[in-house]
Amino acid sequence: MSSAATEHAADDAAAAAGIPLDAPFLSIGFSAHELCTRCGSCIGVCPENAIELDERKFPRLIPERCTRCGLCAVVCSGAEVRYADLSEQVFGNRVADSGFDGQVSKIYVGHAADERLRSGGAGGGLATALLWHLLRTGAVDGCMATRMNGERPWEAEPFLAATLEDLLASQGSRYAIIPMNQLWSQMRGQSGKYAAAILPCQTHGFRLLQKADPELASRVTAVVGLFCGGSLEPVLAREMLAVRGIRRDEVSDFKFRGGKWPGQMQAVLKDGRVRPLHYSNYKDGAYNYLTSLYMPERCQTCLDGSNEYGDVAVSDAWTRDEQGEYKFKAHSRLLVRTPRGAELVRAAQEAGDIVLHDVSADPNYLTHRLQTRRKGSLAPLRVERWRKAGRRVPAYDRGTPDDATFKERMMERMSSALLRAGKWRPFRIAVMGLLTSVWAVPLITVRLWLKKRKYLRRAKRKASAS
């Protein structure tokens, strides 16, 4: 049976059971895919296991098990995010908008002290090192993490890591939709405490869980929040392999950031060969282009790029010097938010598990330019424009920036048009094929030259001013 037929069958079963999929006691993900973050919260919180995933990672109801308890709707942050409520819950104040980076007590750059963790991480292994510290010291019994599926290595999946080997297998960023919070259901049936390395939408769901089911939520004692510029549709890996002429049955692993930092998308074949899937590196030759074709609709309207409500938040340290060179290669940027996060960082540093440099006084680390533009400027404009056009968008207690420029509004329209075109498979396949081929090398070269020129001009202006 095709996926479309399966979805229709599920809808028919729900209708026969007298459960409309837009019922207020159900998560928005059943009736409005454009509002579903696919965070997995609805699956994880359901006490009756009445929700499963379809092949696109959207929730699907098993109506004969549903008791209409309403928990899946309560923990769903797809249709609405109230930042003032979250701030009051996490920080004790009702600040709805404190800028892209959110509320921060300290800013560091650093990396894992263990070379195995450092070399295996996308940005110095700092997030994994924090998880390993908690696991090694017995503070937690497991960690919510991700890995590539053993039988379908082009698909990413969530799992509970319980050993160092598990954490080593989890290393490396995976820019695909992964419903991490579905792991709550597994935690419910086990004893112990857990740490979570999760994305902003998943953190929103967890904070709602703390109110809806405090007992289950208490099992998660630390949230290592990950920055997010937008996930990519699960179909990306399959289409990328097809465009590069690689059969799926040849593949033993799929790496979003394999090799030397900052990494490259690669297919590892069963005969041991490593096939690069594009030219240049992940940042300059893949992710920034692929997000324009494969970013899900709900990610396009998300305003939280820095995981504002984690205990700590971790991102790559992309900050450059005045010549345009990275200041800290293979490092992560670490934002400390809550007292719990501060204690975790202090303990991990004193135990020698992480190496940190305090950059709290350096204004270059107060923002993340690309993500600030994408989620701090363009996403609010998109939400406003789509709402006025009658499209369904999330409800936020944050408004559109008053100082939005004409250029920013045009950029939003252009990026939205490209994302809309990316829904048409022939278009995205053609564009992705071009951008990952040798024909994209001149484009990448020009882009890097323009970026270098921008930094040199900025350095000259600074020198003239002084």
**Is 377 a domain residue?**
no
Nearest to 34 by CA among 384, 297, 232: 297
Residues 165 and 204 in one domain: yes
Tokens 């030259």 belong to: 449
Q: Which segments of the chain have a pLDDT < 70?
A: 1-17, 321-324, 366-371, 455, 458-459, 462-463, 466
311 and 457 share one domain: yes
Asked if residue 58 and residue 165 are part of one domain, the reply reads no
Structure tokens at 321: 């010097």
Contact by Cβ (8 Å): 206, 218: no
Task: Please indicate, yes or no, whether residues 26 and 13 belong to a single structural domain of this protein.
Answer: yes
Structural contact between residues 282 and 264, judged by C-beta atoms closer than 8 angstroms: yes
> Same domain, yes or no, for 65 and 92?
no
Nearest to 400 by CA among 419, 371, 416, 378: 378
To which H or E segment does residue 396 belong? strand 395-396
Q: Which residues pair with 60 in a beta bridge?
A: 52
Q: How far is the CA of 318 from the CAs of 194, 306, 321, in angstroms?
A: 30, 14, 10
Q: Are residue 169 and residue 200 in the same domain, yes or no?
A: yes
Global pTM reads: 0.93
In a domain, 61, yes or no: yes
Among the three residues 11, 41, 76, which one is the final residue of a domain in this structure?
76
Q: Which domain covers residue 167, as residue numbers?
A: 81-366+427-466
The separation between CA 444 and the C-alpha centre of its own chain, rounded to angstroms, equals 25
Strand-strand pairing, 332-336 and 220-226:
unpaired
DSSP letters, 115-133, are: HHHHHHSTTSSHHHHHHHH
In a domain, 381, yes or no: no
Look at residue 188 and tell me if it is in a domain.
yes
- Please tell me whether residues 258 and 357 are part of one structural domain: yes
Q: What angle do CA 236, 237, 240 make, to 5 degrees?
A: 85
Examine the domain organization and report whether 110 and 42 are in the same domain. Answer: no
DSSP β-bridge partners for residue 354: 112
- Return the residue matching tokens 């930094």: 455
- Rounded Cα distance, 427 and 212, in Å: 43
Number of other residues whose CB lies within 10 A of the CB of residue 366: 15
Q: What is the CATH number of the domain that holds 70?
A: 3.30.70.20
pLDDT at residue number 283: 74
Domain total for the chain? 2
Choose one of 76, 102, 131: the last residue of a domain: 76
Amino acid residing at 437? S
- Give the residue from 50, 76, 102 where a domain finishes: 76
Asked if 71 contacts 213 with a C-beta cutoff of 8 angstroms, the reply is yes
Q: What is the DSSP letter of 378?
A: I
Percent of the chain clearing pLDDT 90 (strictly above)? 70
Same domain, 180 and 236: yes
Report the 10 Å Cβ neighbour count for 23.
Answer: 16
Count other Cβ atoms within 10 Å, centred on residue 422: 20
Tokens, residue 167: 């954490």
In a domain, 391, yes or no: no
Residue 13 pLDDT: 64
- For residue 42, being part of any structural domain is answered with yes
47 and 105 fall within a common domain: no
3-state secondary structure of 206: helix
Q: Residue 372 has what pLDDT?
A: 76
- The answer to the question of residue 382 being in a domain is no
Question: Residue 123: which of 330, 325, 263, 355 has the closest Cα?
Answer: 330
Provide the 10 A C-beta neighbour count for residue 274. Answer: 13
Residues 297 and 351 in one domain: yes
Residue 163 belongs to a domain: yes
Q: Do 116 and 65 fall within a single domain?
A: no
